[in-house]
Structure formats: C-alpha cells, structure tokens
Amino acid sequence: MVEATVQVTNRLGLHLRAATKLAETARRFNAQITVTTDGGKADARSVINLMMLGAAQGARLKLRAEGEEARAALDAVRRLVEERFGED
C-alpha cells in the first residue's frame, strides 16, 4: 500500500472532465485506488463517486493505492492532479 496527498489546483476543481480523466487513469492499472477528502471517500475508477466528493480548487485529496501496480498507479494519478488535469 502507498499513499500521497495532493492539492487540487485547477480552476474548476474535480469537475466532470477532470473526474473522467482521473477515473480513466486509475482504470489503466491493476490496483485499487481510493481518493479521500473531508467530504468523503471514493473509488478512483468511478466518475460518479469522484464527482460526489465535491472537491473544489484548493481541496486536498488523500490518495491510497493497493495492489500489484500500486506505486505506478499512485504516481500517475498524483501527476495528473499536479498537472491540473491538463487544464489552466
């Protein structure tokens, strides 16, 4: 198991497009990734669960990955968030 904490810095937060990118990234790996905020906990493979977190700009996300490709999965998701989901 590996963990990391990242901050959402893109202007729109974890909106539909960003949540979709995160879920697509998570699905590429043989690992279970959980995203936790003050508002709850979500399976990173589920766009709807990610949207339910309501993570706006400035929110801190705790990422936790378990499984065969946990380190690679966590690194990819962390990088996606840090790069603002490819947005402004």
Strands of 40-43's sheet in order across: 2-7, 60-66, 32-37, 40-43
Question: Is 42 among the catalytic positions?
Answer: no
Q: Are 61 and 84 in contact (CB under 8 A)?
A: no
User: Which residue among the candidates 4, 9, 10, 15 is catalytic per the annotation?
Assistant: 15
Residues acting as catalytic residues? 15
